[in-house]
Structure 1
Amino acid sequence: MKNFFNYCLRLIVKLALNIYFGKIIVEGKKFIPKDKAVLIVCNHQNALIDPILIATNTNLRPHFLTRASVFRQSFIAKLLNYIRMVPIYRVRDGVKNMEKNQETFDKSVDVLLNKGSMLIFGEGSHSTLRNLRPLKKGFARIAYQALEKNPELDLVILPVAINFSNHLHSGSRVRITFGETLNPKIHFPNFDALIKATYTALDQLVVTIPDQEYEEDLTALIAHDVDLTSKDKVDQFLAKSSSSKGKTQKSYLRNKLMKLFHLPLYWLWLWLEPKIEDPAFKATFKFIIGLVGVPVWYLALYFTLSTIGHQDWAISFLFLAMIFLLANRNGQQ
């Protein structure tokens, strides 16, 4: 039952993601292993959007390490556990709670010992900045604990990069790039060597804009319409030391019409957005509003207009609403 629920949820979320994003590009699928224990190590820029992109674009059915603060309510905790999310505690959650991480590591190791897959965001936190931050020790600890219990375990580390053209806007482009797998046995039991090798593998996949002139370079890249999801194109542009007077401003009529036909949801977003303190969570909340709110809005509108004898108007309005919703997928690149 649990697997069936996750399968249905995966299909629904994948459909919603393909509506939310203008284009989802997946590269390197040939590197996704089969019949192995897989520790997926990924960069982290867009809160909940990142794990669901990985989950819906592979057949690995991974478990996810998720920050413990979202498990505070029992109902939410049960739901997250049902969809294979495992809490990981940080210092900010309280020093005493850090002891609970041993249970988390034990569960993660058990998943690997049964040739399952674990998804870990190696940086330990998220940021919308386009670069790769230093990796934490957690993924290496899980890998080595699994190998200690079963030295013959066929375990690999799968580096994955997620790069966004725009973290905050729907209709934007996202690129998921799978790299060549790493064999952690080569470095066992040296933590630093495994972390360094994994960082090097990820660094070849993640779009990087140097910190020194980050805002200026980002503005120039946008002004020249460089694909911000492509590491090669970004690197080539930055190597030329191109400059720009400023960001070009574009007005998208499709986006405005989409908001008009979904006005209650747009008002909900305008009310909610100022309350979101972490910018990396904005896309997550926007996606959830669309995932839940769009079907509710369509059904409510249809039944309301049908009840007062305007079913033809309801069908026409919903048709146009869906047209502009899909058209907005090309609105922000």
Structure 2
Amino acid sequence: MKNIAYFVIKFWIRTSLHLYFGKIKIDGLSNVPLKKPVLFLPNHQNALLDPLLIAVDCNRKPYFLTRSDVFKSSILNKLFELVRMIPIYRIRDGRATLKHNELIFDKCANLLGNGEALLMFPEANHNLERRVRPLSKGFTRLLFRALKQNPKLDIQLVPVGLNYSSATQFTDEVSIYFGKPIALNELFIVADERATIENIKDKVSLSLQKLTTHLSEENYDEKIAKLNASKPDYLNPIETNKIIKDGKYFYGTHELKYKNGILNRLIYPFFLVGNLPVILLWKLWLKPKVWEPEFTDTLRFALSLLVFPMYYFLLFEIFNYYLGWSSGLIIIIGLFLFNWIYVKCSRR
């Protein structure tokens, strides 16, 4: 029963994500091992959308570790458990809560020992900046725990680059780059745990820096302003990082093709009128409650996921009452198709 519920929820979320984003580009999916224990290690920019995007399109059925402060509702906890979310505790959650991580790491080690896939953010926090931040050693503790239980375990580390056109704006686009798997056993330095940890972190960090746009921290604000002015294709981190490496964006001599949004300006008034109640609900009620910029897209997607089905149903009932079911159905299908076209084309 749980498997059926999982696949229904996965289908619902996957379909909703592909309707919500103007474009979802996936690269390197063939790099994901299908039969070995896998630890996905993505960069982290966009709160809960990051793990959802990977989980629904990675060809595995991963468990993913999520900051514990989202596990506050007993009702939601059942849903989180169903979709394989596991809480991870941080120092900001209270030093006393850190002891719970021992049980979490034991659980994750057992999952890897059974050939399962896990997803964990090695940066240990989210940030909208387009750079790979220093990696925490927390994910290496999990790996050591798994190998302690089974030294012959062939764990594969798969770095994942998440690249958003504009992570807080609607409509947005995203690309997901799955890097080549890194065999954990090949990174071990005999009798030197500290050196092994640094070796793992360096290897994963360098891989991530190739799979997502990476600007160094020094003078970051100045660099990102100049890079944005050159209007790069952030969905292509390889090309964007080449521009950064060449330094051409500093002088404005290199400009990538950019989507000018003309269609967006032309049809947005119709989109606004057709979806006004939902848009007002977002702008007047939920958006003011966003506590961190990184959660903007997550909460907007959650609202769309839950409210739009009810909105379409309510409109159908209204049109069915006044015009009949066939006319009501045609209007609702027309609105759905219009919204879909708007999302897919407004950034082109």
Whether the TM-score (by the shorter chain) exceeds 0.5 is yes
Q: Deviations over 1:56-114 (max 9, x none)?
A: 11121000101111112222222211211111111111111110010110111111000
1:158 lines up with 2:158 in the alignment:
yes
Q: Is the 8 A contact 2:259 2:347 kept in 1?
A: no
Q: Is the 8 A contact 1:41 1:160 kept in 2?
A: yes
Q: Deviations over 1:7-61 (max 9, x none)?
A: 1111111111111111111111121112101111111101111111111111210
Q: Deviations over 1:149-186 (max 9, x none)?
A: 10111211111111111102333221101111112223
**Matched residue count:** 331
Shift of 1:308: 3.1
C-alpha change, 1:330 and 1:13, in structure 2 (3 Å) is same
Q: Which runs of 5+ in 2 are unaligned?
A: none
Query: Counterparts of 2:260 and 2:156 in 1: how far apart (Å)?
Result: 45
Shift of 1:281: 0.6
Match for residue 135 of structure 1?
Answer: 135
Query: Counterparts of 2:61 and 2:321 in 1: how far apart (Å)?
Result: 43
Question: What secondary structure is seen at the aligned counterpart in 1 of 2:80?
Answer: helix
Match for residue 98 of structure 1?
Answer: 98
Match for residue 268 of structure 2?
Answer: 255
The structure 1 residue matched to 2:243, chosen from 237, 247, 258, is 237
The structure 2 residue matched to 1:197, chosen from 203, 206, 210, is 203
Query: Counterparts of 1:310 and 1:232 in 2: how far apart (Å)?
Result: 53
Query: Counterparts of 1:248 and 1:60 in 2: how far apart (Å)?
Result: 33
Equivalent residue runs for 1:46-57 within 5 Å = 46-57=46-57
Shift of 1:2: 1.4
Greater Cα offset, 101-110 or 7-16: 7-16
Query: Counterparts of 1:297 and 1:212 in 2: how far apart (Å)?
Result: 47
RMSD: 2.1
Shift of 1:242: 3.3
Equivalent residue runs for 1:1-333 within 5 Å = 1-188=1-188, 189=193, 190-238=196-244, 239-240=247-248, 241-243=250-252, 250=261, 252=264, 253-271=266-284, 272-311=286-325, 314-328=328-342, 329-332=344-347
Question: What secondary structure is seen at the aligned counterpart in 2 of 1:176?
Answer: strand
Question: What secondary structure is seen at the aligned counterpart in 2 of 1:308?
Answer: helix
Q: Which has the higher contact order (CA 8 A, sep 6+)?
A: 1
Q: Which runs of 5+ in 1 are unaligned?
A: none
Q: Is the 8 A contact 1:41 1:120 kept in 2?
A: yes
Query: Counterparts of 1:222 and 1:311 in 2: how far apart (Å)?
Result: 49
Q: Is the 8 A contact 1:169 1:332 kept in 2?
A: no
Shift of 1:220: 4.4
Query: Counterparts of 1:236 and 1:86 in 2: how far apart (Å)?
Result: 37
Q: Is the 8 A contact 1:172 1:331 kept in 2?
A: no
Question: What secondary structure is seen at the aligned counterpart in 2 of 1:269?
Answer: helix
Q: Is the 8 A contact 2:65 2:86 kept in 1?
A: yes
Query: Counterparts of 1:217 and 1:259 in 2: how far apart (Å)?
Result: 35
Q: Identity over aligned residues, as a percent?
A: 31
Greater Cα offset, 6-15 or 212-221: 212-221
Greater Cα offset, 300-309 or 91-100: 300-309
Query: Counterparts of 2:153 and 2:259 in 1: how far apart (Å)?
Result: 53
Query: Counterparts of 1:55 and 1:198 in 2: how far apart (Å)?
Result: 19
TM-score of the aligned structures, taking structure 1 as reference length: 0.93
One-letter amino acid matched to 1:326? W
Greater Cα offset, 167-176 or 209-218: 209-218
Query: Counterparts of 1:198 and 1:232 in 2: how far apart (Å)?
Result: 17
C-alpha change, 1:332 and 1:209, in structure 2 (3 Å) is farther
TM-score of the aligned structures, taking structure 2 as reference length: 0.89
Q: Is the 8 A contact 1:113 1:146 kept in 2?
A: yes
